[in-house]
Amino acid sequence: MAEQTIDPIHQFHIDRIFEWHPFGIDASFTNASLFMLIIVLLAALLMIAGTSSRSLVPGRLQSAAEMTYEFVANTVHLSAGHDGMRFFPFVFSLFLFVLFSNLIGLVPYTFTVTSQIIVTFALAGFVISLVIVYGLFRHGLHFLKLFAPSGVSIFLAPFLILIEIISFLSRPISLSVRLFANMLAGHITLKVMGGFVAALLGAGAYAVIAPLPLLMVVILTAFELLVALLQAYVFAILTCVYLNDAIHPGH
């Protein structure tokens, strides 16, 4: 038990709950899958329960649901324009998934799904694939104008196009790494600070200064709450910005 409280990485360990290996692929139901299921159920519950009463004067749950809806709708409308609203369901689901997984991760003894880079990379890869597929579907080869800056001399153009392509390819990586790194670093810091409290309490006379890291844990928890909200928002707004490129590829 003492080992567990000191090891800050243990919280990210994936345990298989049900073993399942169809065709040699490890598709076991893990604690990560369990928490994804919980996230989806909670998000669905908030929306279904929040919109079921439909009263003119909203209650707590209904106003939470309505505020989330309006917030995301405004974000999409502002950064992707009127045409971007067709992607609203996608961005809204993405935002809710990231938000709930960040928030649930703050509860002790839970598993933070977004602290696994494969999860955030899958989300970001899905966003970028959607941008490419929709851009090509809607604009055909005109979509490739995205990579060609206008008004550049012909000698400089290949170089700039290469730069634009690399900059485009780095988007899913920066999008996923940002969310993953924020959640991972925050949770490790919290755990290390919590470990300090336990270690100081067991260190005889030094137990006097044990409240200091405890205070730090309290402050950091509030900060992590802010980070959790902010990162979900940033993920959603950058998705909108990238989708905007697919909708209006010209500069």
Partner 1 sequence: MAKEENDDDLRGRLDSLSTALDAQQKASQERNAVTGQTEEAGRSLAKAMNLGFRVLTEFVAAIGVGGLIGWKLDDWLKTSPLFLIVFLAIGTAAGFWSVYRIASQPTGGPGGSR
Which residue ranges make up the site for partner 1 (CB under 8 A)? 78-80, 159, 162-164, 166-167, 169-171, 173-174, 177-178, 181-182, 226-227, 230, 234, 237-238, 241, 244-245, 248, 251
Q: Rounded distance, CA 224 to CA 242, Å?
A: 26
159-191 core/surface letters (b: 16 or more CB in 10 A; e: else): eeeeeeeeebeebbeebbbbbbebbbebbebbb
Q: How far is the CB of 219 from partner 1 (least distance, A)?
A: 11
101 vs 182 by CB, closer to partner 1:
182
Cα–Cα distance measured from residue 133 to residue 46, given in angstroms and rounded to the nearest whole number: 31
Contacting residues for 11 by C-beta, under 8 A, at least 6 apart: 111, 112, 187, 191
Beta carbon nearer to partner 1, 10 or 142 = 142
Alpha-carbon gap, residue 170 to 164, rounded angstroms: 10
Least distance (Å) from partner 1 to the CB of residue 218? 15
- The owner of tokens 């067709």 is 86
42 vs 248 by CB, closer to partner 1: 248
**Pick 85 or 203: Cβ nearer partner 1:** 85
CB of 193 to partner 1, least distance (A): 19
What is the length of the chain?
Answer: 251
Closer to partner 1 at the Cβ: 72 or 80? Answer: 80
* Shortest spacing between CB 226 and partner 1, in angstroms: 5
* Tokens standing for residue 146: 């995205």
- Min. distance of Cβ 227 from partner 1 in angstroms? 8
Cβ closer to partner 1: 139 or 248? 248
Place of tokens 């928490």: 35
* Least distance between partner 1 and beta carbon 154 (Å): 18
Q: CB neighbours of 207 closer than 8 A, spacing ≥ 6?
A: 200, 201
Do residues 178 and 238 touch, judged by C-beta distance below 8 A? no
